[in-house]
Structure 1
Amino acid sequence: MRDFHSPGRSPVLATRGMAATSMPAATLTAIDILRSGGNALDAAIAAAAVLAVVEPQSTGIGGDCFCLYVPAGQGKVVAMNGSGRAPAGATPERLRADGLTAMDATSAHSVTVPGAVSAWAKLNAAYGRTPMDRILAPAIRLAEEGHPVHPRVASDWETAAPKLRKREATARHFLKNGQPLQIGDMFRQPALARTLRAIGNEGARAFYEGEIAADMVAALREAGGSHTLEDFANGLDAAEFVEPIQARWKGLDIFQCPPNGSGVLVLSMLGVLGGMETPSGGPLSATRLHRHTEVARLAYRDRDAFLADPSQADVPVARLVSDEYTAQLRAIIDDTRAMRELPPAGLAELLPVHRDTVYLCVVDEEGNVCSFINSLFESFGSGILAERSGVMLHNRGFGFRLQEGHPNCIAPNKRPMHTIIPGMVMKNGQPLMPYGVMGGHFQPMGQTLFLSNHFEYGLDVQAALDLPRLFPYAGKLQVERGISASVIDQLSRMGHVPELMDKPHGGGQAILIDRERGVLVGGSDPRKDGCALGY
């Protein structure tokens, strides 16, 4: 039980249904959908649509999504890959001819055809029971009437202001007298409302064909992209159901979406950590944090070498999560000092800059369980706004490489390496906990820290999300405030190079299903503006 003298929040408890998202309006929307007869998937899509309006720096219909869903009573995890593909004209030769020597985060070449709307439509058709016009109605109303900017959103908006100033259309709509919106400012998006209404009334085809698609293509072509109406028409069917990947850890089955997502890193890291004794000293001890950091360094090295679109490259998933391989990685780790150099794993490079994403989860009264993540990648994506349709376009293509021969080199109709990874914990064939941690490249690190905090160290769901975090990045160990000076000193003596972060790492949500007591236990990360609610 938490110390009630200290600031913080308790886990949310309920019995019938629950939602946890990164914005209160989205959580409330999900609860409203559940209470009006919708199921967990309906509620998740409705919440994602609201987040696309009220958290515009993190997500939108111009982005991608991934989903894990467990239909009630089936015990089977369904995975959806809602990531889009590069346009047919996206070749390394074309990008080099345009003067690029590496992927540029604000270039139109970093915009793949958005996959989120395709995924929403396919998920709704297969498992939903509420019509899309009703699902999207709350988001449409917020886009038309406006909503106040929340504190974390305002902070991210200020950081992204230089990007928003780069393009006239974007600056016109996303800046106020040339400045970022502040806490409490009202923000309206009437063009986006019209686009959402068209999707609700006419289906995903309204997004990928016709006037809306033409507007997105025109904006991208003007920015130097190779996108065509045919590329967007092909995007209508881009989202696909895929077979999830899984690993056993501490008697639990941990499920992830397969590559091109990076969920395989979670399974690999848990495989390494699962063979180690729990260090004494608690979850913020130097030994625990050092060990977790070293495991992450090895896993991210493998990601940069191997992760790509499996339809166009051989991704050795089975090898990366095998007992043999994770045991080899475990043997490399020294509890007393950091590795000066990592053993080679292909073409590993430093990670790009952190990204923005939204994660949400919903459990309904019937037992349907949804783990859902939607993203623009960087804050405000590419910064390219299709003005008439109100669609901010993501920059997932920034995850590609330009090195010839690399499995993740950009190519026509190819999906880039993706960072967004919804998680699902199963036990004895039943869903135990949908969960996720936002934060771009931090996500595998964040997920494994959270899972260990809860299942290994016994912290409740909310406390496991609250606990201070750290992340190895670009040769430094980025440390949140809250990790003690003495532990930071010990990590430094081990050979790490700690640096304090201006902004915290990511943000997460989780819902634990306590079947013995018939209770849902929800948590929502204080690093974001959101909350968990239940009834």
Structure 2
Amino acid sequence: MKFVLFSSIAAFFSLIFITVPLFAQIDRESGKQFATRSEVIGKRGMVATSQPLATQVGLDVLRRGGNAIDAAIAANAAIGLMEPTGNGIGGDLFAIIWHEESGRLYALNASGRSPQGLSYDRLMEVLDEQGRSSISRLDLTSVSVPGAVDGWFTLHERFGSLPMDDILSEPIYYAEEGFPVSEVIAMRWNASVPRLINQAGAFEETFTIDGRAPQKGEIFRNPDLGNTFRLLAEEGRDAFYRGEIARNIDEWMRENDGYLRYEDFANHTSTWVDPVTTNYRGYDVYQIGGNNQGTAVLQILNILEGFNLSESGFASEETLHLLVEAKKLAYEDRAKHYADPAFYNQPIDHLLSKEYAAERREMIGERAMDELTTGIDVTRDGDTIYLTTADQYGNMVSLIQSNFAGMGTGFVVPGTGFSFQNRAALFSLDPQHPNVYEPGKRPFHTIIPGFVMKDGEPWFSFGNMGGGYQPVGHVSILTNIIDFGMNIQEAGDALRWMHGGSSEPTDDMDETLTRPGTIYLESSIPYGVVRGLQSRGHSVQIGNQFFGRYQGIMRDPDNGVYYGASESRVDGQAAGY
């Protein structure tokens, strides 16, 4: 009787384990079992952001005859208001643009520079007085010139269609009349307020309701930001960099022992750059490079190209091992060679050569590497937004914008409605490091927009926010699509991974990776894969990690449509028409 009972129980559980995957396969009528929803498909335009109302602002611009560049500016203005936990006009911007009429890809570095009046020696004296060995993200030494507004106007001057007052009309409306705060943004807002409420300036008046963060669904207004937007709409970028706003910032900085001056704003410019690129299995992948970490995406792809990922399989032990080891190799170069090209001649040709990738690839074995340095001789934190737009004329924009950590520094000049970024905290203090602090220099940046061309035609505009995770996120999305055959929504919904423990671009030049680090995996990973990674020497942690937020737009020239995807883990939305 016991044997019969045991056999019946065993048969029952065997049936469960056999049938559950079968049921999981039919939870959706089509697509991968982990997909949360279908792609959005539109013919005349597409907008994807991390906040649905901001998506609608961008889409409305397209409906009124604006182009993808106009829509990206409008959506960025709206999301700076609606998601101040990730971005705003106190921060920086990078963008890659496909311009259909000229048939060219353009890249814009709209990141700001350190104060001209703060020397390295004086910075070190200030840090010594504070008893610190690094730049604090909550100190005025971490504030560099905000580049986002100049980025908008630089993009608009070259490619814009609608007038700027038309583009900013809806963001102004929402700033003055209010908007309902969405769920995840409310959560992160609530986490930031206790840390920033006592900062000098007008943070409490600007970003709280009676000293607390707004709750999910609560209407929030920022009339000061609305007034700033009005000044920009009426007077242009000079209102920010040469007019009333710049003068007010100068006065406030002097009163509060800050370092930015009117001259820092007046002298600021964005820079059109040649994007860096590599070919991965027939797809030309583009990044901005220079003082941001986009080059790491290309280095990782070059290394991975020598492995047959489609054969090893999605999220398998072998594939995850290869991905993590390739990331380690690229991030050591990231820590030593990514810096402002105006101050450092980055060996970009060598870093992106297929020969160098082959050399580095040979270092990957069956076990986790625990000792590593650059082959030639950041930070996981970061709150950012990524958005992408496409229009009926064929233009596409990949744009990323950030305050860096938290809501930035929390320093708010009264009447302006925005918090300054703390991006200068990512300078190294090692005098021998390419990313060492210097006056008038752009710090290392984690934020990276991505773009892919196929056979000389625009194919995919994509990105994900998330500090040092971003190159990993880009590689994951691309391998999910190219190697594992996912559509662009499935590629974002699929299991994510992250590795922590690499050297950082703020470290000393002589520091090297001396530990295997930790692999972070989402909880849907099979336990057998976890055990296999551990047997290779990897430390593995399940969940309790931040895996970024993704948006993407793919162009289908055969059907004449765009496919849109957005982050399912948070408040994101892709919408087309």
Q: Distance in 2 between the 1:461 and 1:13 partners?
A: 11
The structure with the largest alpha-carbon Rg is 2
Please state if 1:191 is matched with 2:224.
yes
Alpha carbons of structure 1 residues 484 and 177: separation in structure 2 relative to 1, 3 Å: farther
2:476 is aligned with 1:449: yes
Residue 253 (structure 2) pairs with residue 229 (structure 1): no
2:54 corresponds in structure 1 to 26
**Alignment check: 8 A CA contact 2:380 2:500 kept:** no
Does 2:351 align with 1:320?
yes
| Partner residue in 1 for 2:546 | 504
In structure 1, list runs of 5 or more residues that go unmatched. none
Q: Secondary structure at the match of 1:269?
A: helix
Query: Alpha-carbon deviations, 1:163-182, whole Å to 9, x = none?
Result: 22231521333233433322
DSSP 3-state at the match of 1:26: helix
Contact 1:508/1:524 (CA < 8 Å) preserved in 2?
A: yes
The offset of 1:223, in angstroms, is: 4.4
Note the alpha carbon deviations across 1:417-464, whole angstroms, 9 max, x for none: 111111111112110111111111111110011000011100110010
For 1:483 and 1:217, how far apart are their aligned partners in 2?
52
Return the TM-score normalized by structure 1: 0.95
Structure 2 CA distance for aligned equivalents of residues 282 and 222 of structure 1: 59
Once the two structures are TM-superposed, the CA of residue 345 in structure 1 deviates from its matched residue by 5.4
User: Counterpart in 2 of 1:4?
Assistant: 28
Residue 272 (structure 1) aligned with residue 274 (structure 2): no
Report the CA distance shift for 1:26/1:265 in structure 2 as closer, same or farther (over 3 A).
same
Does the CA contact (< 8 Å) of 1:215 and 1:388 recur in 2?
Answer: no
Equivalent position of 1:290 in the other structure: 321
Return the offset for 1:141: 0.8
**Amino acid paired to 2:273:** V
Given that residues 15 and 534 in structure 1 are in contact (C-alpha distance below 8 angstroms), is that contact kept between their aligned partners in structure 2?
Answer: yes
Report the counterpart of residue 512 of structure 2 in structure 1: none
For 1:243 and 1:86, the matched residues in 2 are separated by: 23
1:127 matched to 2:159? The reply is yes
SS of residue paired to 2:392: coil
Contact 1:508 1:525 in 2 (8 A): yes
Secondary structure at the aligned position of 1:153 is classed as: helix
Return the match for 1:383 from 410, 419, 437. 410
Q: Secondary structure at the match of 2:409?
A: coil
CA distances 1:32-54 after superposition (whole Å, capped 9, x unpaired): 11111101111111111101100
- What is the DSSP-based 3-state SS (H/G/I as helix, E as strand, rest coil) of the residue aligned with 1:81? strand
- The CA distance in 2 between the partners of 1:70 and 1:415, in whole Å, is 25
Shift of residue 92, structure 1, vs aligned partner: 2.1
**Structure 2 residue aligned with 1:170:** 203
TM-score by length of 2: 0.88
Return closer, same or farther for 1:166/1:288 CA change in 2, 3 Å cut-off.
farther
Residue 494, structure 1, aligned to residue 525, structure 2 = no
Q: How do 1:215-364 and structure 2 match up within 5 A? A: 215-235=248-268, 238-278=269-309, 280=311, 282-334=313-365, 336-344=366-374, 351-364=378-391
Is the CA contact 2:497–2:547 (under 8 Å) kept in the aligned structure 1?
yes
Q: Is this contact kept in 2: 1:68–1:80, CA < 8 A?
A: yes
Within-5 A mapping of 1:38-77: 38-77=66-105
Shift of 1:98: 1.1
2:138 counterpart of 1:106: yes
Partners of 2:26 and 2:404 in 1: CA distance: 34
Which amino acid in structure 1 is aligned with residue 373 of structure 2?
P
Report the 3-state secondary structure (helix = DSSP H, G, I; strand = E; otherwise coil) of the residue aligned with 2:309. coil
1: CA distance, partners of 2:361 / 2:411: 44
Match of 1:87 among 115, 120, 144: 115
Q: In 2, are the aligned partners of 1:109 and 1:224 still within 8 Å (CA)? A: no
Distance in 1 between residues matched to 2:537 and 2:304, nearest whole Å: 20
CA contact (8 A) 1:107 1:223 kept: no
For 1:56 and 1:391, locate their aligned partners in 2 and report how far apart those are by CA, in whole Å. Answer: 8
* Residue 183 of structure 2 is aligned to residue 151 of structure 1: yes
1:434 equivalenced with 2:461 (yes/no):
yes
Q: Does the Cα contact within 8 Å between 1:381 and 1:393 map onto a contact in 2?
A: yes
What is the SS of the residue equivalent to 2:104?
A: coil
Q: Is the 8 A contact 1:504 1:527 kept in 2?
A: no
Shift of 1:3: 3.9
Q: d(CA) in 2 for partners of 1:3 and 1:433?
A: 28
Compared CA separation, residues 223 and 505, structure 1 to 2 (3 A): farther
Matched AA of 2:28: F
Check conservation: 2:249, 2:262, Cα contact below 8 A.
Answer: no
Q: Residue 230 and residue 192 in structure 1: after superposition, are their counterparts in 2 closer, same or farther (change >3 A)?
A: same
RMSD (CA atoms): 1.8
Q: Secondary structure of 2:371's match?
A: coil
Deviates more, 1:174-183 or 1:512-521: 174-183
Alpha-carbon shift at residue 346 of structure 1 (Å)? 8.0
State which drifts further: 284-293 or 479-488: 479-488
Whole-angstrom distance in 2 between the partners of 1:339 and 1:319: 23
CA deviation profile, 1:213-240 (whole Å, cap 9, x unmatched) = 13323444444322111111112xx112
Aligned counterpart, 2:169:
137
User: How far apart are the structure 2 equivalents of 1:421 and 1:437?
Assistant: 8
- The secondary structure found in structure 2 opposite 1:458 is coil
Q: Does 1:407 align with 2:438?
A: no
Measure the CA separation in 1 of the matches of 2:539 and 2:198: 34
CA distance in 2 between partners of 1:343 and 1:164 (Å): 37
Task: State the distance in 2 between where 1:422 and 1:307 align.
Answer: 16
For residues 396 and 180 of structure 1, the distance between their equivalents in structure 2, rounded to whole angstroms, comes to 24
Whole-Å separation in 2 of the counterparts to 1:379 and 1:93: 28
Q: 2:325 corresponds to which letter in structure 1?
A: E
Identity of aligned residues (%): 39
State the Cα distance separating 1:262 from its structure 2 match. Answer: 1.4
Q: Determine the C-alpha separation between the residues in 2 that align with 1:279 and 1:252.
A: 16
Q: Distance in 2 between matches of 1:187 and 1:202?
A: 26
Q: Which residue of 2 is the match for residue 464 of structure 1? A: 491
Gaps of 5+ in 2: 1-24, 502-516
- Tell me the amino acid that sits aligned with residue 147 of structure 1: F
Q: CA deviation at 1:145?
A: 0.9
